[in-house]
A = this chain, B = another copy of it.
Amino acid sequence: MTERMGQQSFWRFGVCVLLAGALWLMPIPADLPVRGWHVFAVFIAVITSFILRPYPIGAMVIFGLVALTATGAITIQEAMSGYGDPMVWLIVAAFLLAGGIIRTGLGRRLALLLVSRLAKSPLGLGYSICGAELLLGPVVPSNTARGGGILAPIVRSLAEALDSYPTRHPERAGTYLALVGSHANLITAAMFLTGMAANPMVAQAAQAVFGVTFDWGTWALGSVVPGLVGLALLPVFIFLLAKPTLTDTRAAQAVARRELEEMGRWSRGEKIMGIVLPVLLLLWVSKPLHGMHTTLVAWIGVSVLLITNTEKWQDMVENDKAWETLIWIGGLLTMARSLKEHGFIDWFAQDVGVWFTDVSGITVVLIMALIYFYSMYSFSMLSAHIAAMGTVFLAVALGAGAPAMLTVAIFAYFSNLCGCTTNYSTGPVIIYFGLDYVSPRRWFASGFLVSLYHLAIWLGVGLIWWKMLGWW
């Protein structure tokens, strides 16, 4: 078995290598710098590997960097430069903060508090989950940690308290709650720069390709209206798709109260975390006033947790998700940057621009947005989708002369919302689906309807809001 897996991964790896080789050796257009094309060849192979998965994506990114450096397409300094980018370290800090929120128990307590207050009816239960997502969204920057680590276990225990199990009465509450939890997670992921681990990649790409600074405040400003509308209507919308047969959910409320009692009084760690997080939010939002970089603010937060012994250094060092993400996001950033620096993006945008001379930039962006959204069906990871399709999306929009801010906004928000389509799109979705309250068929069907729901809101309310902001 392991032997065969080893062989399989070796063959799938071979496909990626052949792809890179074939592209590399192709005759290339005269007006395209050779290095740009070589970076593109390796980049495409790495992205393909994210779908074929011969090796974990961190390993594949390393292979890509090694291949580019060994062939002289880029220098070792260039290859490592992504790891010195503040955006990458924002992501690392985000994982370290998220670890603290889980370990201190603050995230769990907040969610239970909301449930114990709001959850008299199934709809109230749905709102309490959305509320918890909204509270934790900006400060638990791994959506997997938030949805999968904090909320999914609570959703499960609530459903079970209502005598709703995958094999017995899933319709009573479990189906509804799993769908609400999963889709709410993606909305809050979309709403904040720190809502999903790879979001800073979007901000970085926006800067690199369009020269647009899409920082914490800008990101949240653009999402606040469509995001809140989407979150506020979600429990009702899912209610229409998967109406729970229960009407009285006070049993779940009682469970939340009991679990809160078991947690006892607020620990020192929870209190400190409860002060640090709002301060971080405040500093992120008020950047125009003090000018402190989003990354610096995040590391100030990490420092305070360390100085007050709220978090132990060893726990941070053992946060392997943080380091794995550092490796692959830093490397991808290098490649994306090299695509730009070695002229590929501009060449591509210019070439594409020729096709769109008769079409308005807005039209192109909206068409590309739909393609971008639904291309998520072929990805099993939001971040891989961003890395792979995002570059194309931005380059085409650039070529078509689309309004920069609008393009970046749609890119940013759709990068997360598109996770609604499948049951394998991102960590928390996989975990919520794994609770087993929803059949795959039903997940896909409702996912498609939710995708229309998102498009209606973000291209309806959203476009109006962004017009008001002067983004197009």
A interface residues (Cβ-Cβ under 8 A, vs B): 6, 9-10, 13, 55-56, 58-59, 62-63, 65-66, 69-70, 76-77, 79-86, 88-89, 292-293, 295-296, 299-300, 302-303, 306-307, 309, 313-314, 317-318, 320, 322-324, 327
Q: How far is the CA of A455 from the CA of B360 in the complex (A)?
A: 76
Q: Say which residue of B63, B76, B313 sits within 8 Å of A55 (CB atoms).
A: B313
Q: Which residue of B lies closest to A69 (CB)?
A: B296
The residue from B56, B82, B293 contacting A76, defined by CB atoms under 8 A apart = B293
Are B70 and A80 in contact, CB atoms less than 8 angstroms apart?
no
Known: A303-B66, A306-B59. A80 touches B76 (CB 8 A): no
Residues of B contacting A63 in the complex (Cβ-Cβ under 8 angstroms): 303, 306-307
Contact, CB under 8 Å: B69 / A80: no
A83 partner residues in chain B, CB cutoff 8 A: 83-84, 89
By a CB distance below 8 angstroms, the chain B residues around A306 are 55, 59, 62-63
Instruction: List residues of chain B with CB within 8 A of the CB of A322.
Output: 323
- For residue A299, which residues in chain B have a CB less than 8 angstroms away from its CB? 62, 65-66, 69
> What's the nearest-Cβ distance from chain B to residue A268, in Å?
10
Specify which of B9, B293, B313, B318 is in contact with A59 (CB 8 Å cutoff).
Answer: B313
Q: Which residues of B contact A62 (CB under 8 A)?
A: 299, 302-303, 306
* Chain B residues within 8 Å of A307, by CB: 10, 13, 55, 63
B86:A295 contact, CB within 8 angstroms: no
A306–B327 alpha-carbon span in the complex (Å): 14
For the complex, what is the distance from the CA of A59 to the CA of B62, rounded to whole Å?
27
Q: List 25 A-B contacts (CB under 8 A).
A: A6-B309, A55-B307, A56-B314, A59-B313, A62-B299, A62-B302, A63-B303, A63-B307, A65-B299, A66-B299, A66-B303, A69-B293, A69-B296, A70-B292, A70-B300, A76-B86, A76-B295, A77-B84, A79-B296, A80-B85, A80-B88, A80-B89, A81-B84, A317-B320, A323-B323
Of chain B, the residue at the smallest CB distance from A13 is B307
A356 to B309, CA, bound (A): 47
**Assembled-state Cα–Cα distance A314/B58 (Å):** 10
A323 neighbours in B (Cβ, 8 Å): 317, 322-323
Which residues from B are CB-within-8-Å of A10?
307
